[in-house]
Structure 1
Amino acid sequence: MIRQRGAWLFLVIICVLAMSTGVRADGYDAFKGLEGTLKISGGTAHIPVMQELAREIMTRYPAVRITIAGGGSGVGIKQVGEGLVDIGNSGRRPTDEEIATYDLRLHRWAVDGVAAVVHPQNPVRALTSRQLQDVFAGRVRNWKELGGPDQAIHVFTRDEASGTRNVFWKKALGKGTIRKDADVVPSNGAMKTAVATDPAAIGYMSVGYVDETVQAVALDGVDPSVENVRSGRYPVARGLYSNTKGKPSALAQAFLDLLFAPEGRAIIAAKGYIPADK
């Protein structure tokens, strides 16, 4: 009896010592014993989170290689559906037709706002929905009509495969027209560069991409902040999805699980997005 009690006490001490020294499972442990290449493409709003996770995974597990490409939501859905990549990212929910055609499994791991942005030197910091729609439709073509400088408005947009464009067009522009002479850029990163280097520019991008190089514009008196997106006060928002064709591979499943683990959620929040529950 004394020996049994002693053995039990020894096990308790070992467990306490293990916990106190930080020996614990984390979201990256799912990659133990795995090897091979995980291919990811699609929505560009996802890329900051994907890259951060991929760097940490490949540092810990050199037998795992992860490639990440953009192309927009439509590209991500199409490429995963055709078996060209393991995970296809989209900044919109795939349509019922896409889900049925490609046997897609949807994994929504974050909520993201989409904000209109201008150059930091532009004094126009707030617009109504009607003003924003008039600007993108070309009915308003000079910043002086909005309280800004006497300067022609330079409109930037995304191509029709973009999930960022899709939500902005629906929820901010009310499915209105976009000027045919608007300059088209291929990604959120390219949009930030275009607007940051053009004092007459206006465009739109994921709230997660907004930094001091651009100025986010309040819409109908509501700033596109993470807090306002989370509360629902700022309505131009969407889910961020990582989609697979059928059941994910072991590598893809480990990556998807990490997005919902504490380590993944911390990175999602740090990049300006709102983590979603699994």
Structure 2
Amino acid sequence: VVNRENPLENIGIDQARQVFTGRTRLWSELDAGFGAIQVITREAGVGVRNALQQAVMGRRRFTPTAIVLPGNREILEEVAADPLAIGFLPASWLDDRVKALTLEGMSHDWVALNVPGYPAVLPLFFVTPDDPSPEAAALRDFVAGEAGAALLTGRYGLPGYASP
């Protein structure tokens, strides 16, 4: 995600890798205005950062000049306030204060439409033992049922789920 005022609309995986590692340091290198790029990231080990790490970064490290924030709300607010910032958020956190870039020409909406190929997806898994406790079985059944699916789809934009 970038600030609403940023002219950038799309970023390729290689470009994103260069930005998040600090090899691309100026917005002008992306034909997206002027000024130094400010990378905003979550702390290591967080699911959304892990998804970006797998999809974009590989074994490369984030730029040491990145601002590391403790939550998605903080990233949203920082990117909204800083016209030079770039960060990443789960689609469920997007609002009109920031602009979601397409990645390799694909919108995050492709995930919600269940179109395969979007390169940065954070899967959710619900795992129980073969013989779960009654409480765990009830929760599993709720999550896999219509009410649970509606809740997950409404909150996270998840189009499908695996049955137990």
TM-score over 0.5 for the alignment? yes
1:115-173 per-position Cα deviation (integer Å, ceiling 9, x unaligned): xx111111111111111111111111111221122121110112122111111111122
Q: Which residue of 1 aligns with 2:104?
A: 220
TM-score normalized by structure 1? 0.53
Provide the rounded CA distance (Å) in 1 between the counterparts of 2:33 and 2:12.
18
Q: Does residue 1:167 correspond to 2:56, yes or no?
A: no
Separation in 2 of the partners of 1:244 and 1:156?
Answer: 35
Alignment size in residue pairs: 162
The percent identity for this pair of structures is: 31
CA–CA distance in structure 2, aligned partners of residues 127 and 231 of structure 1: 19
Q: 1:203 aligns with which of 80, 87, 105?
A: 87
Partner of 1:124: 8
Tell me the equivalent position of 2:158. 273
Q: Is the Cα contact below 8 Å between 2:17 and 2:56 reproduced in 1? A: yes
Structure with greater proportional strand content: 1
Gaps of 5+ in 1: 1-116
Considering only aligned residues, what root-mean-square deviation do their CA atoms show, in Å?
A: 2.2
Gap regions ≥5 residues in structure 2: none
Q: Based on CA coordinates, which of the two structures has the bigger radius of gyration?
A: 1
CA–CA separation in structure 1 for the residues paired with 2:116 and 2:80: 28
Query: Are residues 136 and 269 of structure 1, via their aligned partners in 2, closer, same or farther at CA, if it must alter by over 3 Å?
Result: same
Task: Tell me the TM-score normalized by structure 2.
Answer: 0.86
Whether the 8 Å CA contact 1:207–1:226 is kept in 2: the answer is no
Letter matched to residue 38 of structure 2: H
Q: For residues 268 and 135 of structure 1, do their structure 2 counterparts lie closer, same or farther at Cα, with a shift above 3 Å needed?
A: same
The alpha-carbon distance between structure 1 residues 227 and 240, as it changes in their structure 2 partners (threshold 3 A), is closer
**Residue from 105, 110, 117 that aligns with 1:233:** 117
Matching residue of 1:262? 146
Query: Residue 159 of structure 1 contacts residue 186 of structure 1 at CA under 8 Å; is this kept in 2?
Result: yes
